[in-house]
Chains A and B, each alone.
Chain A
Amino acid sequence: MTAEPREAGRTGAADGWMLLLARLALGGTFVAMGAAKAGDPVPFLKLVHEYGLVPEQLPWLLNGLAVTLPWVELVCGALLLAGVGLRGAAACMVALLVVFSGAILWRALEILEAQGGPFCAIHFDCGCGSGDQFVCAKLPTNLLLLALCWLPLRARRPRWCLRADLLARAPRP
């Protein structure tokens, strides 16, 4: 692979191996989590329902989220792994992680209010595809993934990508 010229003020590593590692971690996580839920929407539907965030008068919304969210995760993860539309995929992941983490925190606080006890003793299946987890392990993990999203979001000359910028014009022959 030929070396690419470095822009002043930008380190090559951030657009190279560091970005690649972040893509693998983020993309792999999202593909795995999405695949775990996409095959059968019913378990995920039950978990989303437990959050109580979707009005009962809108069953189609709850059902639609259960059916589509796993595939959104899959698509974002796959695109990031393949190096297609990096910023868009990362932005999508940021949005998902913010919403998921907020919902997990909300539910943890509800459980804390109902049952009491130490916050870090609270555990439940958040619907992320990784089963029952302690809140104090899940939230920091999500924060780490959010931090990793920074690399593909700010990448200017990402390496090892099929088409990092979907909107960029193809180079002239």
Chain B
Amino acid sequence: MITQDELARTAERLRDALTAAADVMAEPDAAAVITPVPQRPGGPGRARAWLIPLAAAACVVAVIAASVLLATNLARTSSSASQPAYPGFSICEPLPAAGPGTALPRFYVTTDVAARQIQLQVRRTSDCAVTAVVPLPDGWLLTGGISATAGDRTFFAAAFSASRCPVQAGVGGISYAAHETRFFRFAVNDQGRAGRLTVVGPPVSGIVGPVAASPDGSRIAFNAADGNYVGPGTACAGGEAEGAAIRVIDLATGKIRTWQTPEMPPAPAGTSVTPHEVSWMADGRTLAVSYVWPTNPSGPQLSMAVAALDTTSRGGSLQAHSHVLWSQPHKCVFCVDEALISPDGKSLTATAIQHTAHGDRETLLRIALPSGRYRVLYESPAETNPTSAFTQDGSGQHVIVVSGSQAGWIRAGKLVLLRAPGSALQFSPGITTIAW
């Protein structure tokens, strides 16, 4: 059993080894790719010292821009022809004939990045063809991702203005850019054509986590990450780092309710939890909130639970207005990372790591509530990238998995890739880039 002391020592040893290795490594061959550049005298040690203020000026806005822009650029420059097909995967199959259960959503929304402008793309599930393009305003970048309502014809995106914010001093020597998040909405008709993109709700300062639109689209929920910089209401105003919280915006009134999450059962008293995904039940009132916390030395290193929050309460403490639906078993075989609730509240869909004798395997589970019994929906093949995120439709029956830079929907334990035949990779990793 690994104790917390051993973990702390390991972290210190790792930091020390990486720093020392970088210091002893010969300067990489600096044959100039762009312009011959003379090496700075003083070697790597001085170069690293010079980088300290540069790192201190690191801007989260730019990081997000990099993630989105580069993932797409890499995708475009990758030659799909030179890569063998993913084993066991099929691509954009026609929709199955109507059968038991709910129909597969006809459209999904993902992102594409034009020169300097992010575009939301509406695509047909059956052939992945683009049916509409909805550009975000110039200079705006996604932060909390895309979310669909229960009818799968109304979509929301959370984005922020990227480049006009001064850098603020941040936590632990790392800086954050203060910025303002806005929420956007558009509708899709039966032909997949998109209506006008409109701004909804009030602006929110800081970065927001994954957003979840309520089933009827009247409210938006999101988690405000711990350490976020929030200002007094204006863009780039800076402000104080705020603790983690769950927020729900009523789009009709613009009112925001906030539930703080310093402690939650079954985490021991005095242990802070980190909120994670949020997802709505069909009643439009109950919000499932997953959260993680470090465990004591004798347990798994990180534990997780999901609580049901009554969003008609006035706000305040999450603990006071919620009850625990499920928590990670002490010795988990499938250790859950992320979980979303089904609309009827009877199950969770979750990504988990399965510890096997042959190594760890990423899986997608359906966990019955309250029994906790699980069923494996999908296992990520060992030879592919691990599952990085997933999202579900309004029925909770149809799940999209993002695996590396690929995304697909699950059918009978297999992944049906959501990309046009012959095209290059199209998805940035992460849940923020696709919804249905």
Same assembly: no
Which residues of B are interface residues toward A (Cβ below 8 A)? none
